[in-house]
Amino acid sequence: MSSSPILRIESVAKTFGPITAVDSISLDIRENEFFALLGPSGCGKTTLLRMLAGFETPNAGRILLDGKDISPLPPEKRPLNLMFQSYALFPHMTVRQNLSYGLEMERLNKAEIRRRVDETLAMTDLTQFSERKPEQLSGGQKQRVALARALVKRPKVLLLDEPLGALDKKLREKMQLELKRMQHEAGITFIIVTHDQEEALVMADRMAILKDGRLLQVGAPEDVYERPADRFVANFIGVMNFIEGKVGSDGVFEADGLRLAIPDARPGVATLAVRPENMAVEASGNLPVAGVIADVAYHGLDRVLHVKTAAAETPLQVRVPASGAGSWQIGATLSLGIDPAKCRLFQ
């Protein structure tokens, strides 16, 4: 993958009356990258995408594609293509006609249109459906047609707004992998908007987390999951346990019944964050934090124990293998261990 930015977003802002939807965001997106814009409802991700596509005008900042400012260009003149959430397929046209339409508008010759449409139908596994109309297709197939129609125009960057939002969970998971494969095959930069953190973790090469129009963190899924920049990101991505406490002058984090030496900790109030899979658990009392099981949730591959402790206000979630259910009954006592190398401290 090349690391040169294909798209540079420079201090871009957008307000709607008193509402700041996007608050001075700067971001570089690399060529051939699968990039996810992730955040809770209302964080500004759709507005940012619409500014890239040219459907909204920024109040400030610049958007550069391949080093050129595209801000003055209308949507149809931008080498970016936006795939809408609703798919917006032409209902009276076949799949092939839906794909050909955009190329006919570009006045390409018939042979070239046929070649490009055939190639894109094959890439999106739609060849056998080419003569069907949208109403004769399943939800996942319609989604693929919408994607194919965007890909056939060979944009430099494809913008996708919640592309899998209309699909059920099982199909969505299948399509996540398919989207990734198609992006790879097409060699096109994808920028996808999603509010689903799991989807972003699965698909993205890198992701940006937004809140209240601001950019909180940009990084590879592993970076963001393992080293969240702040408490909000830590809570938003995956499951995180928080333990409120304070760091003493000796650099040791303390909460009720818990003492943990964390490298680089500063004295003062602090929140310790630890993932459910990063805690040791024993049915005996050998580990430092004593607890009682308040709840057990079975997830197939593993179980999540909800453990009441003196250290944390809400029960701590601890992931254990699904086998060995006998030891994990509601009301049973156990002990927990936390490895300081696997925690984050927010101060």
Is there binding between residue 46 and ligand ATP (CB under 6 A)? yes
Is there binding between residue 39 and ligand ATP (CB under 6 A)? yes
**Of 13-21, 108-116, 236-244, 309-317, which segment contacts ligand ATP by CB under 6 A?**
13-21
In degrees, rounded to 5, the angle at the alpha carbon of residue 142 between the alpha carbons of residues 138 and 145 is 140
Q: How far is the CB of 84 from ligand ATP (least distance, A)?
A: 13
**Of 34-42, 74-82, 122-130, 199-207, which segment contacts ligand ATP by CB under 6 A?**
34-42
CB nearer ligand ATP, residue 16 or residue 90: 16
**Of 14-22, 106-114, 141-149, 255-263, which segment contacts ligand ATP by CB under 6 A?**
14-22
Residues 163-202 that bind ligand ATP (CB under 6 A): 195
CB nearer ligand ATP, residue 50 or residue 306: 50
Q: How far is the CB of 35 from ligand ATP (least distance, A)?
A: 16
Distances (CA, A) of 332 to 233, 291, 324, 327, 329: 33, 9, 14, 8, 6
**Of 44-52, 118-126, 245-253, 264-272, which segment contacts ligand ATP by CB under 6 A?**
44-52
Is there binding between residue 43 and ligand ATP (CB under 6 A)? yes
Here the tokens at position 308 are 């009441």
C-alpha to C-alpha distance for 138 and 82, rounded to whole angstroms: 22
Query: Residue 218 region, left (φ>0) first, then alpha (ψ -120 to 50), else beta?
Result: beta
Say if residues 238 and 277 touch (Cβ distance below 8 Å).
Answer: no
In degrees, rounded to 5, the angle at the alpha carbon of residue 234 between the alpha carbons of residues 36 and 181 is 25
Q: How far is the CB of 191 from ligand ATP (least distance, A)?
A: 13
List of E strands, the chain: 5-16, 19-30, 34-38, 60-65, 68-69, 80-83, 157-161, 189-194, 206-211, 214-219, 241-247, 252-255, 258-261, 268-274, 279-282, 289-298, 302-309, 316-321, 333-338, 343-346
Identify the residue among 13, 24, 31, 42 touching ligand ATP (CB under 6 A): 42
**Of 40-48, 62-70, 93-101, 333-341, which segment contacts ligand ATP by CB under 6 A?**
40-48
CB nearer ligand ATP, residue 46 or residue 176: 46
Q: Distance from first CA to last CA of the chain, Å, rounded?
A: 36
Say if residues 332 and 283 touch (Cβ distance below 8 Å).
Answer: yes
CB nearer ligand ATP, residue 42 or residue 140: 42
Q: How far is the CB of 44 from ligand ATP (least distance, A)?
A: 4
CB nearer ligand ATP, residue 140 or residue 165: 165
C-alpha to C-alpha distance for 249 and 105, rounded to whole angstroms: 70
CB nearer ligand ATP, residue 86 or residue 329: 86
**Of 15-23, 27-35, 218-226, 262-270, which segment contacts ligand ATP by CB under 6 A?**
15-23
Q: State the CB neighbour count (10 A cutoff) for residue 11.
A: 12
What is the arrangement of strands in the sheet containing 206-211, beginning at the earlier edge strand? 80-83, 157-161, 189-194, 34-38, 206-211, 214-219
Q: How far is the CB of 213 from ligand ATP (least distance, A)?
A: 7
Q: Which residues are near ligand ATP by CB under 6 A?
A: 16, 19, 21, 39, 41-47, 195
